[in-house]
Amino acid sequence: MAGIAKGAAEQALMEAARRVLPGGGFGNFAPDIVVAEGQGGHVRDVSGNDYIDYLLGSGPMFIGHNHPAVTAAVLAQIPRGTTFFANSEPGIRLAEAIVDAVACADQVRFVSSGSEADAYAMRLARAVSGRPKIVKFEGGYHGMSDWGMMSLAPKRLANFPEAVPDSAGIPDAIRNEVLVAPFNDTEAAVRLIEARAQEIGGVILEPFQRLIPPKHGFLAAIREVTARLGIPLIFDEVVTGFRFAYGGAQEHYGVTPDICTLGKIIGGGFPLAAVAGRAEMMKHFDRAAVAEDGFLMQVGTLSGNPVAAAAGLATLEVLREPGAYEGVFATGRSLMDGLTGLIHEAGIPAQVVGEAVMFDVVYADGDMRDYRAICRQDTAMQKHVNGVLRARGILKGESKYYLSTAHTAEDVAQTLDAFRAAMASLPATRRVA
């Protein structure tokens, strides 16, 4: 990879990884980098190469790596104990902060990952409603459970509402328990929910689906139909919680669900996630509050871990500082605008899609309203541009820029220089006539 030299130590670690890890990695990011450290909006690999980090650990590091307030909170908690399997003050205080911030949250139940949170939220909705099926939206990511892995990124585009499994090992029976609707198609989604209401235990969606903002009125329409028919509505805010606003996407878009899931930012870089919701629904986690057949058992060895909760509390305190959100949104808009200008200058069929704190370049024309529209993009061009960016010290996911409060105007300028070089490297045949 031109511009990024790999030293002997990093090459040896990658070789060791190939021996002991399937595919040579943790199953997350490409295994051709071994990160040694992070500071603010940058990371450094074992070979000493510095990268502007738009991966941000897949989103948790919203205030940057090694923030002094978070580091201090963690170092203060560790000598007091790292896990108890019992209540602790940091976890209780973090739950209070979430309830104060998030519109739908009367109570909180902690887990260790977003996948757990989404799986329990869907189970909670079924426990509340007494009905078996879950409605999700094609292309929506709701963790690694059998239900979550339905029609996340289907290679075969089935007729709605048929669900397509995205992994081996999922029983065929699960396909019959998930109904799939097109995101941003209000008429189709409402029609499905109304027609199958007697079977639907819950509706789950990302209010901002991967990169795709909701069309005006779409979230409100899903809220209206689910409320009218008594179907619990779940917002998966593992990604958007405390990122789009202090109150999450439900504050940003002005629509309140019954239940939401949270993760990433609330753990401050440590494994922690949560289900939050209305008290009359959350009581199903309390054996004393419901009949035995309504009790939802949930136990996790590290749920509410005090070190993670301390990190999360410190992160939220930073985000409450005046100007925190205004600053990161301004940085993100600056980068989005710069990328859009370079795309137009290069004359390629592409556009910037998303919100200022989370977006990417999609290499296609037209309205990017749903998963099938995103599938039209030129993935070869996407891969080429991402490769040029990596070679010039820009670390991002395959299809996302995450912005942090630690990114600077200098980072934006360097990123735009790298993207300009990527545009210049494209063959003339890729350009619009």
Half-sphere exposure at residue 364, Cβ-oriented, CA atoms within 13 angstroms: 16
Annotated catalytic, 155? no
Annotated catalytic, 120? no
User: Taking Cα atoms as reference points, which of 80, 33, 57, 107 lies closest to residue 267?
Assistant: 57
What lies within 8 Å, CB to CB, of 284 at 6+ separation is 124, 127, 128, 290, 294, 295, 296
Distance set, CA 241 to CA 236, 273, 348, 376 (Å)? 9, 11, 34, 29
What lies within 8 Å, CB to CB, of 28 at 6+ separation is 58
Return the residue matching tokens 């080429």: 384
- Catalytic residue (choose from 45, 118, 236, 411): 236
- Amino acid making up residue 366: G
CB 385 within 8 A of CB 377: no
- Catalytic residue (choose from 264, 283, 396, 400): 264
- Catalytic residue (choose from 51, 141, 325, 401): 141
CA–CA dist 242, 248 (Å, integer): 5
- Give the number of other CB atoms < 10 A from CB of residue 325: 20
Tokens standing for 133?
A: 């099926």
Annotated catalytic, 246? no
Which active-site residues does the annotation give? 141, 236, 264
